Amino acid sequence: MNAASIAARQPLPARTFTWLGRPAAAFGKVADKVEERQLVQRCLGGEARAWEEIVRRHSPRLYQLCLRFTGNSAQAEDLAQDALLRIYRALTSYDPAQGSLATWMTALTRNLLIDHYRRSRLERSTDSLDDPNNTPPAPVESRQRQPDAGVWQRELRDEVQAALARLSPELREAVILRDLQDYDYKEIAAVLRIPEGTVKSRINRGRIELARHLAPRLRKGTRML
Amino acid sequence: MNDFFDSLDCPRFEEQASDFLEGRLPDAAAAAMRQHARQCPACGRLLEGLHSALDALADLPMPELPPDFIPTVLARTSGQRQNLAGWGPTLRSLGRMLWQPRFAMGLALAWFSLALLLNVSGTHLNRIHAADLAPARWPSLVSRTVRRVYARGVRYYNDLRVVYEIQAALHAGSRQSSPVPPAHPSGQSQRPPYNWNPGTRTLARTRPAVPPASLTGWSLARIETEPDWKGRCV
């Protein structure tokens, strides 16, 4: 694959989504907003099944957001649970006129993630490099070539997660919301409470930085395939 | 659009890269981007890397939720966990909490502190009766316990040998520094010596059963008003 072939490629096609993994933007566009509003009203009325439906519908996406932001499954589980707890307590303050339920829930979760990031900043700066969870992946060139495509794919996923973790939190959240959760720019601007132009700039810078982190691995993969 | 084409340098190309990949640019601008990518190797590599990175992101699988995630959330919010998953997850999470070494250490310290307090206050759990639990009796129980603990402390302090030794040393020092009273005409010392009683572990002066008839009024007054004399021999 060379630059000319890349330049000649068509723009990225629209993605297809599964039900649980369906991004918020698609959900907001497809789902009946009246039904969503009724679901919230039933939940506020004390109907446990309505709250359970909300949890089942949005938990995978919130967990993914926390996992991709923190890179740690245990922390992601705790943070996603705390986020849902906060959402449950603040459900009375949700205003459907301000945006979809998914956007509102993501905004609350994002605030929790930023709080967690600020709290743990000092801990991260003093973390020992001996901790295997904090050890950055070894340089790609120093690894032996793995002929197994499955192994290579798993390693690539780990490195994508590691590259995400190396982005600044502002760029990381923008890239996650756009490229993993498929929010549109307007929704990201509502979640992050920044202008759309800033959203666009952050997404672009985050992608470029991510591509630079992944360049050695991706070049190697191109040679392999 | 010619302006866009003419001003498309590498920094501008980098700014527009995401828009180009997402198909947000008009046709002419996209064509200019393609031409620049063909002519500029660095921007071509940038575009290639961006495309590969986006493909890698799209290949990231949706993570699976931990099995207890939703029941735990429901239990922490609406309390419907029992209806959904029974007591199993509740007991498992409780067990996980109790299994923490920090919790076990805290529990052990709390138990040790409670036992120490009960021991010091002389409280025996097997001697507590149902009537003692009536709130009307609590003030008297507390007062009695406080008095008992105080008396025990005072007794312990008074029984310390070192206390007596210090007091004896102080008395000896004060006798040497005080003016010697005039000798009694009979030749007897007017201050009786200290005697150590090993049974009670106390020091006491032996008071003469009957004051000598020849004591003067001065010496009688001194014996009666001397504090250590009164404190030890009465």
Which domains, from first to last, does chain A contain? 18-126 (1.10.1740.10), 147-225 (1.10.10.10)
Please check whether residue B50 lies inside any domain of the structure: yes
Give residue B227's domain range: 161-233
Please check whether residue B123 lies inside any domain of the structure: no
Contact A179 B57 (CB under 8 A): yes
Three-state secondary structure call for residue A167: coil
Residue A44 structure tokens: 């506020």
Overall number of domains in chain B? 2
Residues of chain A positioned with their CB less than 8 A from the CB of B59? 153, 156-157
**Final residue in a domain of this structure, among B18, B35, B59:** B59
Q: Say which residues have a Cβ less than 8 Å from residue A211's Cβ, sequence separation at least 6.
A: A218, B46, B49, B50, B52, B53
State the pLDDT at residue A29. 53
Residues of chain B positioned with their CB less than 8 A from the CB of A208? 14, 17, 46, 50
ipTM higher than 0.85? no
Closest chain B CA to residue A47 = B78
Please check whether residue B17 lies inside any domain of the structure: yes
Length of chain A: 225
**Final residue in a domain of this structure, among B59, B75, B94:** B59
Q: Which residues of B162-177 are buried (b: 16+ CB within 10 A; e: fewer)?
A: eebeeeeeebeeeeee
Residues of chain A positioned with their CB less than 8 A from the CB of B66? 73, 77
Please check whether residue B15 lies inside any domain of the structure: yes
> For the residues of chain B, what is the DSSP string, one character each?
-HHHHHT--HHHHHHHHHHHHTT-S-HHHHHHHHHHHHH-HHHHHHHHHHHHHHHHHHHSPPPPPPTTHHHHHHHHTT--HHHHH-SHHHHHHHHHHHT-HHHHHHHHHHHHHHHHHHHHTT--GGG--GGGGSGGGHHHHHHHHHHHHHHHHHHHHHT-HHHHHHHHHHHHHHHHHSPPPPPPTT---SSPPEEEETTTTEEEE---SS--TT--HHHHHHHHH-HHHHHHH-
Please check whether residue B115 lies inside any domain of the structure: no
Task: Please name the residues between 97 and 156 in chain A that touch chain B, using a CB distance below 8 Å.
Answer: 153, 156
Please check whether residue B77 lies inside any domain of the structure: no
Instruction: Give the number of beta-carbon pairs within 8 Å between A and B.
Output: 146
Q: How far apart are CA A41 and CA A50, in angstroms?
A: 9
Contact B69 A59 (CB under 8 A): yes
* Range of lowest pLDDT (A5-9, A182-186, B29-33, B198-202): A5-9
Q: Is A198 on the interface with B (CB under 8 A)?
A: no
Closest chain A CA to residue B35 = A7
Q: Confidence class of residue B183 from pLDDT cuts 50, 70 and 90?
A: low
Which of A6, A81, A204 has the CB atom closest to B76's CB atom? Answer: A81
Which of A1, A3, A207 has the CB atom closest to B54's CB atom? Answer: A207
Torsion of CA A194, A198, A199, A205, to 10 degrees: -140
State the pLDDT at residue A98. 83
Q: What is the pLDDT of residues B46-88, one digit of tens each?
A: 999 999 999 889 888 889 999 999 999 998 886 543 444 456 6
Residues of chain B positioned with their CB less than 8 A from the CB of A54? none
| CB of A97 closer than 8 Å to CB of A187 | no
Length of chain B: 234
Q: What is the pLDDT of residues A81-101, one digit of tens each?
A: 999 999 998 988 898 888 889
**Final residue in a domain of this structure, among B13, B38, B59:** B59
Assess whether pLDDT exceeds 80 at residue B116: yes
**A126: amino acid identity, one letter:** T
Could you give the maximum distance between any two Cα atoms of chain B, in Å? 137
Q: Is A50 on the interface with B (CB under 8 A)?
A: no
Assess whether pLDDT exceeds 50 at residue B220: no
What are the percentages of helix, strand and coil residues in chain A, rounded to 5? Answer: 75, 0, 25
Q: Say which residues have a Cβ less than 8 Å from residue B89's Cβ, sequence separation at least 6.
A: B68, B71, B72, B75, B81
Q: Which residue has the tokens 């245990």?
A: A74
Please check whether residue B79 lies inside any domain of the structure: no
Task: Please state the rounded mean pLDDT for residues B132-139.
Answer: 80
Please check whether residue B153 lies inside any domain of the structure: no
Contact B53 A211 (CB under 8 A): yes
Which of A146-155, B84-93, B154-163 reaches the highest mean pLDDT? B154-163
Contact A218 B49 (CB under 8 A): yes
Interface with A, mutate which of B59, B77, B93 (most A CBs under 10 A): B77
Mean predicted lDDT score pLDDT of chain A: 78
The sign of the torsion formed by the CA atoms of A60, A61, A64, A69 equals negative
